[in-house]
């Protein structure tokens, strides 16, 4: 079967660092994508890990361990505009979205 686990909510302070963890179980797996979605908006692609290790894109980094079926998204120097929902998305021939993690940023 398929399953996806990430925290439902995370709260952090502006300027801080936050890590959103994800564990998954899927039948097929090419890699792990991360998407950001603001209320009423579209999923915006943030990062993709096809191989184990860390991928860095500006303030955002993503990590994957295939053997552990685990990944995380690291957001640094948090800004108020980072308040949104974040989705880890195991990818095979389609994306399976979970309920995501709602990130609240406090000033």
Which residues bind to another protein, rule: CB under 8 A?
30-31, 33, 35, 37, 41-45, 48, 50, 87, 91-100
Nearer to another protein among residue 77 and residue 92 (C-beta): 92
Q: Kindly state the smallest distance separating residue 43's Cβ from another protein, in Å.
A: 5
Q: Kindly state the smallest distance separating residue 46's Cβ from another protein, in Å.
A: 9
Of 4, 58, 55, the residue nearest 29 (C-alpha): 4
Lay out the sheet containing 70-75: strands in order across: 3-5, 18-25, 70-75, 60-65, 53-57
Euclidean distance between CA atoms 58 and 60, whole angstroms: 5
Q: Kindly state the smallest distance separating residue 94's Cβ from another protein, in Å.
A: 5
């Amino acid at each position: 079967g398929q399953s996806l686990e990430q925290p439902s909510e995370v709260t952090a302070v502006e300027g801080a660092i936050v890590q959103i963890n994800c564990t998954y179980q899927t039948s097929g797996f090419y890699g792990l994508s991360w998407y950001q979605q603001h209320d009423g908006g579209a999923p915006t692609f943030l990062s993709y890990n096809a191989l184990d290790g860390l991928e860095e894109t500006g303030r955002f980094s993503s990590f994957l361990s295939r053997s552990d079926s685990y990944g995380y998204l690291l957001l640094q120097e948090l800004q108020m505009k980072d308040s949104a929902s974040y989705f880890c998305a195991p990818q095979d021939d389609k994306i399976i979205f979970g309920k995501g993690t709602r990130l609240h940023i406090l000033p």
